[in-house]
Structure 1
C-alpha cells in the first residue's frame, strides 16, 4: 500500500457488518465448486515465489519487478487467459529514469560544489532545463500565509528569485500534530501565489544538504524513476519554476551581508511570531539540465471473455499491485530485502487464485456472463502509477467497466485485531458504498451467504487519519465513476514497509478466505442481469 495521503473527505458508514440481519443470496453451487482453487496451498505456491529474496522486493523499474511481471504473465498464459494488449499480457508504461546531466551554481561569481553546497532534483527540472541569475534574492521565511501570520506581507516577489526554509511552521508549538489537509491547502495556496506573481526561481534552505553521506550520493547518482502520465506531464508544465536546495552553510553565506544567520532568523521568527522577510543583494546564478532514460515497466493483464453475447461487452476488473519497495538502502541492514509478502504479494496472489477459479469454471462450461480483466498493476508504491496509467489508457472502454475489486494486503492480522476472538475472520471493506448502493448491498449479501466474515468499515470514516480510501489502486477507478471495493487487513505498524513483511508471517487460510470473499462478489457481479447502479456521489452520499 502506498504511504502517501492523496486527498480528503468521506461519508461515515457503519463500523461493521451484521450478516445475521441481511437477507442472504441463494448459494450458487457452481461458484462454490470452483472456489476450491482458492486455497492455502495454491496461495503459498505463488506467494513463496513472488515474495522470495530472489525477487529483491519487486521495486518498480528493477529486476525484481520484471521477474514478478514475467511470472504473472506466464501464469496467465498457462491458464489460457487472453493477452488483451495487442496480443500481449503487458501494458507498457512510459517510465523513465531521470538523472542530472549537468548543473552549476555561483554566489558572487564563485562556483559552488554540487552535493556539498547545493542539490537539484532532476525530476523537478523541465525538459528544457533551466538557467537563471539575479542580483536580488527575496527571503520569505517559511513561505506561509495563515491567520495573523504572513511571510509575504510587505514583500514584492513578482518576477523575483525567492528563498525560504524547506518546511516548518513557526506558528505551531513543538510536538503539534500536523493537520494534513490544512498543510496541503497551504502548499497549494503558496504554489498558486508563486504562479500568479511569476516567481523566477525558488531557493530552498534544506539542512539535509549539509548531511549528505556517500551512500546518499550514490543513490542520487542512480537517478529517480518517474512515470509520464498525462497528469504528471501537465503538473510539470504548470510547475516549471526552477528549484534549487542549498545547505545551511551556503544560506549563512548569503545572509552574511545582513549580519544574521539561519538559526538567528528561525529563533527570531518563532519567538516574535512575526515574519522576518527581507531582500538580499547578492549575485546568484544557477543552471541545470536532465537526462531521461526509458525503463521497463508494465501492468500485467489477463482477459477472460464473457459467455453472454450481450453482457460480455461489459468488464469487471480485479486488481492487486505486484510491486513493493525493493532493497534496503542502509548498508548495515542485516536483512536487505523488503519482501512485501503482505504488501502486496498477498493481494497479487489473490488475483492469481481468482483467475484460476474463473478459468476452471469456463473450461467446465460455467464461464461468467460478463468479461473479467485480471490486472496486477505496477508502481503503486510510487504513487498509484500503474492504475493511473490504465485510467488514462484503458484497454477496455471506461463506460463498459462495471466495477473494480481491489485486494491490497489481505494476508495478515492488523494491529486492532491482534489477540481478539475475530482476529482470523475479518476484513476491512473500503469504499463499497461510495459510488453504488447496489455494490454495498451486494457485498453484504455475498458475505452473509458464503464467507460470514466481519466486514469492518472503519476506513470509510471521514475522520480516518490514515485516509486509506485514497491510498491504493481502486481510487483511480473511483475517480472515473467506476464502483469499487477495496479489501485490506489493516496492518500499518508491524512490518509495514519493512524487511519483516515475510512469507513466514502470512496466515494462508485467512488470505484464502478473504480472496474467496472477493471471488464470490466477483461471481455475482459477472453474472447478474444488471450491473451495479452508480447512484452515489463518490463520497457515500446519494446523488442529487
Structure 2
C-alpha cells in the first residue's frame, strides 16, 4: 500500500469530528505507527525466539525484551516481593509420568513398547495387577456384531485394538481425519467404561512407527496453574487406566492362549465374528507422577495516573506474548511457529501504547487514571497467565475499571477477502453499555475503522468471547473489549510470519485501542457495569 495514501487517509479521518477530539491524544499517538510495529514484531516473531512457547527459552527471551522496553519507556515495575518488579511469577506446573513399568508373567516389557497415559496416573501413582486379561477385539457393539458377547469385562483388564473394525480396516475417513479417529477412540473408551472395565490395553498396530517425541509427549502432563482448582482436580478419581501397547506386547499376552495378533485379526475379518477370550496371564503395571515447575511470568509495566482522586483506578491493557513454540516433528521443513499475528501483533500493540502514554506523562500530559500494561504468558495453554493475575491481582479488582485485550490485529480474516479495514470487537457491550459507547465513540472521533460485531455474543460457535485473556477479567465483572482480526490459514501454523503482517492495519487497530484507552483513562467516570447475562460473576 502506498505510504503517502495511508497517512493522508488517516489525517483526513482524524479531521472529521474534530470538535470531539483531544489534541493531546492525537499529539502523543505518534509512537503507534507501522514502523514502530515492525521494529517490535520483527524481533518478537523472529526464528531466534523459537515460537515463544510457555515454559521454554523463547518465551523467557520475549519476557526479557518486553521488560526492557517498559523500562526504556519509563514505566515502573509494580510487583512486590518477587525477584523482579516487572515480572509476576505465574505458578506453572506439569505432573509427568516417571518410572513406568509393565510386566507380563513376570517378564519386564521394553520401555519402547508401551505408553502409560498421563491421565491414567494419579498423584499417588499407578499400581495395577491382574491374573487375567480379556481380549475383546475392537471393543465394538454394532450391527449384530458384539465383541462383549458372552464375556464379562467388569473389573477386568481388557485388551482391544486401538482402531479399526471387524473388516480389518479403519472406518472410512478416520485415516485422513484425526478428529474422526479421536471420536472413534472416545466411543471405544465409553463402551468399555459402560461395561465397567478396570483398565484398557490399547493395541496400536503401528506402534513401532510412532515417533519417540510423540511417545514422550503422551507421558508428560499439560502445563497448568498450581492453585486450588488444580489441587481439587487432581484429587478426583482416575476414571480409567489406559496403556497403549505394541504388537510385541500383545503377542506376549496372546501366546499364552497359543495364538497371535495376526491370527485373531484374520479370524475376525474372515468370519465376521468376535474372537473375544479370557487369557490367564499375570500382568503388572506401575508408574509414578512427579510435579515439575516451569518458569513463566506476566510482564507488567505501570504508569501512575496524574489525578490524585482518580489514580487509584486502573485501566489494564493486555496481550499475550506466548505462542505454540517449535514443531514437534524434528523433520519439519519449517520448525518455528513464529506467531507473528498470534499474538506478536497484540504484544506489539501493547508496547506501542505503553510508549505513547509514557511520552504523554513525561510531557506533563499523562492520563488521570493509572494504566497497567501487561503482557501475559500461557494463553495458548488455557488463558493461564491472565487467570493467575485475576486471582492474584497486583491492583485490586475493585479498582480495575476496564480491560482492553489485543489478540491478533496484524492480518485479515479469510471470511472477509479483499477488505482489511476492519476489526472485530468482542465483549464491549457484554457488561457495560458505557464501555460500548466509549469504544465506539473513540472510533468515530479518531480512527473510522469498520467495527465488526459478528462475534460479539455468547452464542458464537467459535466461543471467541471465552477464548482470550479478557475473559478472566470479565468473569470478575470488569468490562472488557477484545480486539481481533479473525483467523486465517496460518493460524497456529509455521506460516504465521512477519512477512504476512499488514503493518498499516496493525497500527490502525492499535490506534483504536490507544484512543479508547485515552478516553477511559481521562474520563470523568469509570464505565458502569449494568449487565450480568452470564450470571456467573465471581468475587475476589
TM bin, normalised by shorter chain, reads 0.7 to 0.9
Partner residue in 2 for 1:322: 321
- More displaced stretch, 40-49 vs 274-283: 274-283
How far apart are the structure 2 equivalents of 1:517 and 1:483?
17
CA distance in structure 2 between the aligned counterparts of 1:379 and 1:404, rounded to whole angstroms: 18
Residues 1:282 and 1:331: Cα distance change in structure 2 (over 3 Å): same
Which residue of the partner structure matches residue 504 of structure 1?
Answer: 499
Q: Is the 8 A contact 1:342 1:506 kept in 2?
A: yes
Task: Report the equivalent of 2:236.
Answer: 238
Contact 2:118/2:218 (8 A) holds in 1? no
Aligned residues between the structures: 513
**Corresponding residue for 1:212?**
210
Question: Is residue 66 from structure 1 mapped to residue 81 from structure 2 by the alignment?
Answer: no
Is 1:83 matched up with 2:81? no
Q: 1:103 to 1:215 in 2, by over 3 A?
A: closer
Q: Distance in 2 between matches of 1:25 and 1:141?
A: 77
Across the aligned residues of Structure 1 and Structure 2, the Cα RMSD in angstroms comes to: 4.6
Q: CA deviation at 1:203?
A: 4.3
SS class of match (2:63): helix
What is residue 445 of structure 1 aligned with on the other side? 441
User: How far apart in 2 are the matches of 1:444 and 1:206?
Assistant: 55
User: What pairs up with 1:28-427 in 2 under 5 angstroms?
Assistant: 28-86=22-80, 88-96=85-93, 99-115=96-112, 117-122=113-118, 125-136=121-132, 161=157, 174=172, 201-206=199-204, 209-216=207-214, 225-240=223-238, 242-247=241-246, 250-251=249-250, 282-418=281-417, 423-427=419-423
Which residue in the other structure is 1:471 paired with?
A: 467
Q: Contact 1:435–1:539 (CA<8 Å) still a contact in 2?
A: no
Asked if the contact 1:143–1:151 (Cα under 8 Å) also holds between the matched residues in 2, the reply is yes
Q: Which moved more, 1:504-513 or 1:361-370?
A: 361-370
1:535 maps onto 2:531 in alignment? yes
**In 2: Cα distance, 1:258 partner to 1:391 partner:** 58
Q: Is 2:480 the counterpart of 1:484?
A: yes
Per the TM alignment, residue 507 of structure 1 is displaced from its structure 2 partner at its CA by 1.2
Q: Once the two structures are superposed, what CA deviation does each residue of 1:107-137 show, in whole Å capped at 9, x if it has no partner?
A: 333322223x311245763333221212355
**How far 1:408 moved relative to its partner?**
1.0
Q: Report what 2:510 is aligned to.
A: 515
Q: Distance in 1 between matches of 2:305 and 2:191?
A: 52
Other-structure match for 2:424: 428
Q: Secondary structure at the match of 2:30?
A: helix
1:242 and 1:250 mapped to 2: Cα distance?
A: 17
SS of aligned partner of 1:332: coil
SS in 2 for 1:476: helix
> What is the CA-CA distance between 1:288 and the residue it aligns to?
0.6
Distance in 2 (alpha carbons) for counterparts of 1:264 and 1:370:
76
Structure 2 distance, partners of 1:224, 1:109, is 32
Q: What secondary structure, in the 3-state scheme, does the structure 2 residue paired with 1:66 have?
A: helix
Structure number, greater radius of gyration: 2
User: CA offsets per residue over residues 180-203 of structure 1, 9 Å max, x none?
Assistant: xxx999999999999999975454
TM-score (norm 2): 0.78
Q: Give structure 2 stretches of 5+ with no counterpart.
A: 1-12, 175-180
Does the CA-based 8 Å contact 1:430-1:486 persist in structure 2?
Answer: yes
Q: Distance in 2 between matches of 1:525 and 1:39?
A: 21
Q: Could you state the TM-score of these two structures normalised by the residue count of structure 1?
A: 0.78
- The residue number in structure 2 matching 1:5 is none
Per-residue CA shift, 1:13-67, capped at 9, x if unaligned?
xxxxxx9xxx999222222222222111111111111111221211111211111
Greater shift after overlay, 329-338 or 48-57? 329-338
Unaligned residue ranges in structure 1 (runs of 5+):
1-18, 177-182
Q: 1:240-293, CA deviations, whole angstroms, 9 ceiling, x for partnerless residues?
A: 4544333466457657789999999999999xxx99998765432210113444
